[in-house]
């Protein structure tokens, strides 16, 4: 089958080479993110009615206006777990399947959450810069903080939150909050502010939705307090970034480790400059092993859709 005979699909962002190659074997791919505004409008006018599928990342999803402009759209395949950037109700109304890549990210996201926690308290990245910049010959690093014995509060005990709790329980006591209590060994704290007051380290692993939008604001940060640390591997929208900048700048919390941001890839200068903040560029799932497994799921869902078979990982 030639390229122009394949079903038409939009690709919303760069993917791993494995996934991009696999997509080209199943569909005719149009790189939506590489078209300027005029080219996007021209494409929709000429070929929008033929688009059958969208392959996208959880941080991008599918804009509502784009979804409405694609009458033949039947699948939105997300390379990730987040579904907050897709109007699920509208997709369901139109019979558009939405899939993501659950489970395979868990190990790697938790690895990073624990790594960020250790780095934040022990100053590993800061120590690396200290040595490489030649400062060790004339100065000493300030003392860091012990990880063992700390109290860890988990916000959101889904797959990733539960696995994070299991890992951090090796270091110290764990409590969690969320919409409801789970059948787990950890204590449930229904009040976010009470959890923040109790915790030494507050770790965010909750989904981004209307209920969690800017959940961590001034009140939660003040409850965490000047000796408390924040770790976010969830979504940037879960944190009120302006409130976090204020808390960091005025020493109202001890520090933060962030893998996600409100306006990625843009990060406030105050966070980038602060020695109290550890930053990574949304790489929690960025391992060779994880991206390979994610690609297999995305391609499996796309193949199932094209074959009119049940989707592998439908979002319900």
Catalytic residue positions?
A: 235, 264, 282
- Residue where the block lists tokens 């070929």: 47
Residue 91: its H or E element = helix 88-94
Question: Is residue 5 exposed (0-12), middle (13-18) or buried (19+ Cβ within 10 Å)?
Answer: exposed
Residue 141, token pair as written in the block? 């690093």
Taking each helix axis from N to C terminus, what angle separates 106-122 and 288-306, rounded to the nearest 10 degrees? 150
Q: Phi and psi for 76 in degrees, rounded to 5?
A: -115, 105
Distance, in Å, from the CA atom of 78 to the CA atom of 129, rounded to the nearest integer, reads: 36
Q: Is 130 exposed, middle or buried (0-12, 13-18, 19+ CB in 10 A)?
A: middle
Element (H, E) at 108: helix 106-122
Structure tokens belonging to residue 260: 């996600």
Burial 258-284 (b: 16+ CB within 10 A, else e): bbbbbeeeebbeebeebebbbebebeb
**Could you count the other beta carbons within 10 Å of the beta carbon of residue 104?**
19
Nearest to 101 by CA among 28, 29, 26, 159: 159
CB 135 within 8 A of CB 186: no
């Amino acid at each position: 089958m030639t390229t122009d005979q394949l079903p038409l699909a939009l690709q919303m962002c760069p993917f791993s080479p494995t996934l991009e190659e696999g997509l080209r074997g199943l569909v005719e791919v149009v790189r939506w993110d590489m078209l300027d505004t005029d080219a996007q409008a021209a494409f929709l006018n000429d070929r929008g009615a033929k688009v059958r599928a969208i392959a996208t990342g959880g941080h991008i999803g599918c804009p509502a206006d784009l979804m409405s402009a694609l009458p033949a759209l039947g699948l939105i395949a997300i390379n990730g777990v987040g579904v907050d950037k897709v109007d699920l109700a509208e997709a369901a109304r139109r019979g558009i399947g939405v899939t993501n890549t659950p489970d395979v990210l868990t190990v790697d996201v938790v690895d990073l959450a624990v790594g960020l926690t250790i780095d934040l308290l022990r100053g590993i990245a800061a120590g690396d810069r200290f040595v490489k910049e030649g400062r060790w010959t004339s100065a000493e690093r300030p003392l860091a903080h012990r990880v063992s014995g700390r109290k860890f509060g988990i916000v959101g005990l889904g797959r990733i939150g539960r696995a994070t709790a299991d890992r951090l329980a090796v270091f110290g006591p764990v409590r969690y909050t969320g919409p409801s209590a789970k059948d787990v060994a950890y204590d449930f704290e229904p009040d976010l502010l009470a959890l923040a007051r109790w915790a030494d380290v507050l770790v965010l692993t909750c989904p981004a939705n209307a209920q969690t939008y800017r959940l961590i604001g001034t009140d939660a940060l003040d409850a965490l307090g000047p000796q408390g640390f924040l770790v976010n591997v969830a979504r940037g929208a879960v944190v009120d970034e302006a409130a976090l900048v204020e808390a960091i700048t005025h020493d109202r919390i001890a520090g933060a480790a962030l893998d996600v941001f409100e306006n990625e890839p843009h990060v406030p200068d105050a966070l980038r400059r602060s020695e109290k903040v550890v930053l990574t560029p949304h790489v929690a799932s960025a391992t060779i092993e994880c991206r390979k497994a994610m690609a297999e799921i995305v391609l499996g869902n796309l193949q199932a859709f094209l074959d009119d078979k049940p989707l592998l990982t439908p979002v319900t």
